[in-house]
């Protein structure tokens, strides 16, 4: 594989910097995890069980599905199948990020890196990784995101258990956190050369989501957009 | 909910999710990248931005259902403008995200109260 930039990891871009850089993910994850904690306890789980789901599965949308399907008495096989199907889009995240991690410098065990490879971690890393970033930076980002996910889950679960009501104003603001995060991550990636592939990806996702589940639409859209970008850059390189 | 089912379902669901994340990474690591053809490398590099664009489109679509599009649009527009403005000022995704959420929440309250 040809690397696009020389690998020159900077120790300043290590675990601590990753934790700091995960602030946007913490901001995005915490309220969603609070919502999950509220839902899980509302569906009959204890706060510890809700925390267990977040700690072990650690995959936002599919956790909501898992708890909701179990609550309506779905079979274990169908619940596990649904969880796996919803996360199939993660198949490409590891190989895509590995191709951008520095060749030199300290290595983080792959089984550890794989655990924290969520949509948002992948998005942030895709938008941020440079040859100066170390693998520990990615682990720091993942640690911040995972910590926020667990903290939000237990907060939401305890709130639900305490019988507190909801706060419509704050809840409304929280619903915009993820779109705002994705927009903020997309902005630095916008170049004239990739507007068309990115637009195609967005339009494909929107169009398909009217007919098929959103997680499937996402998987197809990201592949279509990436295929177009790869084809166009190959054309420019004369391949 | 059947509590006796919860633990095995959570453990197996977690294992399935983990293997989906780990096995392709493990396979790519074993290939050591060098066996991948250039088009595959370009494809993998382009996946991240492509995924972000798709995630953004789907997230915005969730907030703008056709039935209530005109009622929901002002808050979404305010949120988007706030993200763009803060990003231009700070280039910091966390501040931009926070500004977007606050702007969206405020306009949502104004419209619904």
Q: What angle do CA A87, A141, B7 make, to 5 degrees?
A: 45
3-state per-residue secondary structure call for A5-39:
CCCCCCHHHCHHHHHHHCHHHHHHHHHHHHHHHHH
- Given an 8 Å threshold on Cβ–Cβ distance, is A126 in contact with B49? yes
* d(C-alpha A156, C-alpha A51), whole Å: 10
Rg of chain B over Cα atoms, rounded to whole angstroms, equals 21
Q: Are residues A134 and A201 in the same domain?
A: no
Q: Are residues A228 and A205 in the same domain?
A: yes
Q: Are residues A149 and A220 in the same domain?
A: no
**Residues in A touching B51 (Cβ below 8 Å):** 89, 119, 122-123, 126, 201, 218, 222
Q: Looking at residue A2, what is its pLDDT?
A: 38
Is this prediction's ipTM beyond 0.85? no
> Pick from B25, B47, B104: which is nearest to A173 by CB?
B104
Query: Does A79 reside within a domain?
Result: yes
* d(C-alpha A76, C-alpha B10), whole Å: 10
Contact yes or no for B2/A69 (Cβ under 8 A): no
Is the predicted pLDDT of residue B49 greater than 80, yes or no?
Answer: yes
How close does chain B come to A91, measured CA to CA in Å? 6
Q: Are residues A228 and A157 in the same domain?
A: no
* d(C-alpha A86, C-alpha A216), whole Å: 7
* d(C-alpha A81, C-alpha B94), whole Å: 34
Query: Does A5 reside within a domain?
Result: no
Q: Are residues A22 and A57 in the same domain?
A: yes
> Which whole number is the average pLDDT over A35-52?
88
Q: Looking at residue B33, what is its pLDDT?
A: 54
Domain that holds residue A200: 191-239
- Of the two residues A72 and B111, the one the predictor is more confident about is B111
Max CA pair span of chain B: 60
Q: Are residues A35 and A141 in the same domain?
A: yes
- Given an 8 Å threshold on Cβ–Cβ distance, is B58 in contact with A218? yes
* d(C-alpha A89, C-alpha A119), whole Å: 9
- Given an 8 Å threshold on Cβ–Cβ distance, is A183 in contact with B83? yes
Contact yes or no for B57/A202 (Cβ under 8 A): yes
A100-132 pLDDT per residue, tens: 887 766 788 999 999 999 988 998 998 888 888
Query: Does A111 reside within a domain?
Result: yes
Domain chopping of chain B, boundaries: 53-113
- The model's confidence at residue A27, banded by pLDDT at 50, 70 and 90, is confident
Query: Does A98 reside within a domain?
Result: yes
> Chain A 103-132, CB below 8 Å of chain B: which residues?
110-111, 113-115, 117, 119, 122-127
Chain B residue nearest residue A58, CA to CA: B14
Of A158, A139, A148, residue with least CA distance to A32: A148
In sequence order, which residues have a C-beta less than 8 Å from that of residue A166 and are 6 or more positions away? A38
* d(C-alpha B78, C-alpha B72), whole Å: 10
Q: Looking at residue B31, what is its pLDDT?
A: 77
Query: Does A119 reside within a domain?
Result: yes
Query: Does A4 reside within a domain?
Result: no
> Which whole number is the average pLDDT over A87-106?
80
Q: Looking at residue A3, what is its pLDDT?
A: 42
Query: Does A92 reside within a domain?
Result: yes
How close does chain B come to A5, measured CA to CA in Å? 13
Chain B residue nearest residue A227, CA to CA: B43
> Pick from B22, B38, B52: which is nearest to A182 by CB?
B52
B51-89 pLDDT per residue, tens: 889 889 988 998 888 888 888 899 999 999 999 999 999
Q: Are residues A174 and A212 in the same domain?
A: no
* d(C-alpha A201, C-alpha B53), whole Å: 6
Q: Looking at residue A170, what is its pLDDT?
A: 63
**Residues in B touching A170 (Cβ below 8 Å):** 105
* d(C-alpha A198, C-alpha A184), whole Å: 15
Of B28, B48, B26, B14, residue with least CA distance to A109: B26
């Amino acid at each position: 594989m040809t690397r696009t930039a020389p690998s020159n990891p900077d120790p300043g871009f290590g675990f601590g910097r990753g934790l700091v850089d995960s602030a946007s993910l913490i901001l995005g994850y915490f309220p969603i995890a609070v919502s999950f904690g509220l839902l899980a306890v509302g569906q009959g789980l204890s706060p510890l069980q809700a925390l267990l789901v977040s700690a072990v599965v650690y995959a936002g949308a599919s956790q909501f599905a898992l708890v909701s399907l179990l609550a309506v008495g779905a079979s274990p096989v169908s619940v596990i199948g649904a969880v796996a199907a919803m996360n199939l889009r993660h198949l490409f995240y590891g190989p895509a990020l590995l191709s951008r991690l520095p060749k030199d410098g300290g290595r983080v065990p792959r089984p550890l890196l794989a655990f924290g490879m969520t949509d948002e971690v992948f998005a942030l890393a895709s938008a941020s990784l440079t040859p100066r970033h170390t693998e520990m930076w990615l682990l720091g980002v993942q640690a911040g995101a995972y910590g926020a996910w667990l903290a939000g889950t237990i907060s939401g679960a305890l709130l639900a258990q305490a019988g507190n009501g909801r706060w419509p104003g704050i809840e409304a603001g929280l619903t915009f956190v993820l779109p705002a995060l994705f927009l903020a991550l997309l902005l630095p990636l916008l170049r004239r050369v990739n507007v068309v592939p990115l637009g195609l990806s967005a339009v494909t996702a929107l169009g398909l989501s009217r007919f098929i589940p959103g997680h499937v639409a996402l998987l197809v859209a990201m592949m279509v957009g990436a295929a177009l970008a790869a084809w166009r850059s190959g054309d420019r390189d004369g391949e | 909910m059947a509590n006796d089912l919860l633990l095995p379902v959570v453990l197996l669901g977690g294992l399935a999710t983990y293997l989906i994340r780990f096995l392709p990474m493990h396979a790519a690591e074993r290939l050591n990248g060098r066996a991948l053809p250039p088009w595959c490398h370009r494809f993998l590099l382009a996946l991240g931005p492509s995924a972000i664009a798709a995630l953004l489109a789907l997230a915005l679509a969730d907030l703008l259902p056709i039935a209530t599009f005109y009622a929901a649009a002002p808050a979404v527009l305010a949120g988007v403008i706030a993200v763009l403005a803060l990003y231009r000022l700070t280039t910091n995704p966390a501040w931009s995200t926070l500004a977007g959420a606050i702007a969206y929440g405020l306009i949502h309250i104004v419209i619904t109260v």
